[in-house]
Amino acid sequence: MPDTLHDYLYLASQSPRRRELLTQLGVRYELLLADDDEDAEALEAVQPGETPDDYVQRVCALKAEAALRRRERRALPDAPVLTSDTTVCLGGRILGKPADGADAAAMLGALSGGTHRVLTAVTIVSTTGMRHALSISEVTFRPMQPAEIERYVASGEPLGKAGAYGIQGRAAEFVERISGSYSGIMGLPLFETAALLRQARLQF
């Protein structure tokens, strides 16, 4: 395989946090977002009996395959493609993005006063092949009063976020302790991502 050095990559993610984290690493990127006719949400459907660990890695790999097809369809120049997927789990239960405010409040109520896991998978595809990494972190929330949850949900921040919260936002006040990767909890574990990028021959 060609031993090509790359100076940028394609980021197949709408997450502003992932863009910020790549910029923090000094990585140049171009967005490679889904077309209107792509059913991106269908990729995130949970299969019966699937564990959270298997789920997040499978979805991330599917996103990478879809992004590769997108790059080829658009006849874009060759460069590595990065995808990532984050899920929150409580026991074996996957807490995805809340459907509405009531769903967000129920998730936050379940997380209150306990410890849950945050799993973030990363996939990078380049001329050297497809590589994967999985970051596993634990987050402990202090007990939260119903009125606190209500105010947080009313802020709109929980919507669109796995587990109904963003650790880099207002939810930080609920976090008593974390064990693992803070950037992984945000959505892109920088230690694992940097290692994959070096393997993919990316200069940064």
What residue segments make up the domains of the chain, in order of their start? 9-199
What pLDDT does residue 106 have?
98
What pLDDT does residue 3 have?
61
What pLDDT does residue 43 have?
84
Give the CATH number of domain 9-199. 3.90.950.10
Q: Which amino acid does the sequence have at 184?
A: G
Share of the chain above pLDDT 70, in %: 99
Q: What is the DSSP string of 157-198?
A: TTTTSGGG--TTTGGGGGEEEEES-HHHHHT--HHHHHHHHH
Catalytic residue among 39, 85, 100, 103: 85
Residue 140 phi, psi (nearest 5): -110, 125
Tokens representing 82 are: 């990065």
Digit-coded pLDDT (tens) for 9-30: 999 999 999 999 999 999 999 9
Picking from 54, 59, 55, 25, the residue whose alpha carbon sits closest to that of residue 42 is 59
Digit-coded pLDDT (tens) for 50-76: 999 999 999 999 999 999 999 999 999
The beta strands (E) that lie in the chain are given as 9-11, 29-31, 81-90, 93-95, 115-126, 129-141, 175-179
Count of helices and strands (H, E) across the chain: 6, 7
What pLDDT does residue 1 have?
43
Please indicate whether residue 35 is annotated as part of the active site. Answer: no
Q: What is the DSSP string of 119-134?
A: EEEEEEEETTEEEEEE
pLDDT < 50 positions in the chain = 1
